[in-house]
Amino acid sequence: MNIYALSSGRGPSGIAIIRLSGKDALNISELITQKKNLKSKEINLCKFYNPSNNTLIDEGLLLSFPCPNSFTGEDLVEFHIHGSNAVISYFLKVLSEQDNCRLAEAGEFTKIAFQNNKVDLIEAESIGDLIHSETELQRLQALKLVQGNASKYYNELREKLIKSLAYIEAKIDFAEDDLPESVLKEVQNSIREVYTDIKKILKSHDIGEKIRDGFKVSIVGEVNAGKSSLLNLLSKRDAAIVSAEKGTTRDVIEVYLNIDGYPVILADTAGIRNSENEIEKKGISLAINKSKESDLNLIMIDNSSKSIDPKIKNLINENCIVVLNKSDVDSKQNHNFKNVEIVLISVKNNQNITQLITKIKKNLSSKFTTSNTVLVTRERHRVKLIDCLKEIDNFLKKDQNKDIEMAAEDLRLATRHLGSIVGKVDVEEILGSIFKDFCIGK
Ligand SMILES: Nc1nc2c(ncn2[C@@H]2O[C@H](COP(=O)(O)OP(=O)(O)OP(=O)(O)O)[C@@H](O)[C@H]2O)c(=O)[nH]1
Ligand SMILES: [Mg+2]
């Protein structure tokens, strides 16, 4: 089966790119261009025709990538046509009428690339992330993964495990010949190193996932302090209702923001106070829960408030930013807290908002920088790494002299978990090839 799809964005645009991949891609291109011998290392300027009635569709460029040197690993052709909706629709219709040709499913080109070993699972996932990246930080992270840094790292760890496994297997196969004690020690040390490395990567898992999904920042605090007004100002739209009535917001309202490259999910919440109203009480409890799961809380207080509710005071810690609002009413800062970032603003007059944004960025960047070159960006990777750690732990707990077969099985499973992150599960095959060339030291 040959698959095709519009690979550029929907028109109208100057140029649109339609991709066609499959074993008949080159034949179909010859039919559509009415040209033989399309060149694969040059750009072909062509007229495109509907083969069923020879009418002209458009004029444009054709790039051909014969297998295996293409993105999918199959014969692949790119048609660069004019990007109007009419041209695109007609071109796609003509392709749909060719034998064994159908519209590609979402991600199918990358899926075929994976099946043909053109990319591994991590690279395939990160191509999706790169396409969906909205902020600079997300682009950089996805790009690093596309380039294969993480895959290389996981493969290296995995190969280290496989090498150790080969020693253990050797000990099983040549039971009567003792494996020198020093070799066993070496194996154990090498496995401990892998264990420590994985632990280290897991510690930073938060960072990778946060960059991908967004940092959670919540606005919590007094009723009527201007929380919803701040959310609207930062998101540049009227996402939340603002009113002079106290207790307006009940639900949690979330907006997605790009704060200078930082992907942020900003939440507005109900003001915290003693309330008898059942709905408001629910809203307050949602607000407190939200503050607990946030990466950063903006505690919003009306600068002219005389006293602050103890429940709000409880939320103030070194990790939050206290936002005193309505400086237009009283420009003197009326509250102070030790070791806490404070900023006096006026949402109404747009005063000090840039300072607030700088403080938010500073807080997030201090929390989310790491020296690790590899970050765990998905729950799937995290789960597999934890599974791998469990098996290594099982291995290390065993007496490898007595329970050697069981210990080998632990290692085999650990290797498999690590391999499934990049999409390599065929452990036996690799083990075979390594073991074949292996010198057991005698
Ligand atoms: N003077 C002044 N008024 C403001 C400022 N920011 C907001 N307000 C007003 O304060 C009132 C409450 O604003 P909201 O944004 O609804 O406050 P809130 O904290 O979301 O209130 P609740 O949802 O009830 O907890 C509205 O009348 C706003 O117009 C400000 O900087 N200065
Ligand atoms: Mg509100």
Run of H or E residues at 336: none
Q: What pLDDT score does 177 carry? A: 60
Domains of the chain, earliest start first: 2-113 (3.30.1360.120), 149-204+375-436 (1.20.120.430), 213-367 (3.40.50.300)
The alpha carbon of 213 and the centre of ligand 2 are apart by a number of angstroms equal to: 25
Q: Which of 129, 22, 132 is nearest to 72 (CA)?
A: 22
User: Looking at the whole model, is its pTM more than 0.85?
Assistant: no
Q: How would residue 179 be classed by pLDDT, with cut points 50, 70 and 90?
A: low
Atom of ligand 1 nearest to the CA of 246: 24
pLDDT digits (tens, 9 = 90+) for 411-425: 999 999 998 888 876
The alpha carbon of 346 and the centre of ligand 1 are apart by a number of angstroms equal to: 10
User: Distance between CA 225 and CA 229 in Å, rounded?
Assistant: 9
Residue 143 vs residues 2, 4, 128, 154: alpha-carbon distances, Å:
29, 25, 11, 17
Amino acid residing at 266: L
Protein residue whose Cα sits closest to atom 6 of ligand 1: 226
Q: What pLDDT score does 136 carry? A: 83
Q: What pLDDT score does 429 carry? A: 44
CB 129 within 8 A of CB 84: no
**10 Å Cβ neighbour count for 78?**
23
Atom of ligand 1 nearest to the CA of 221: 19
Q: What pLDDT score does 442 carry? A: 27
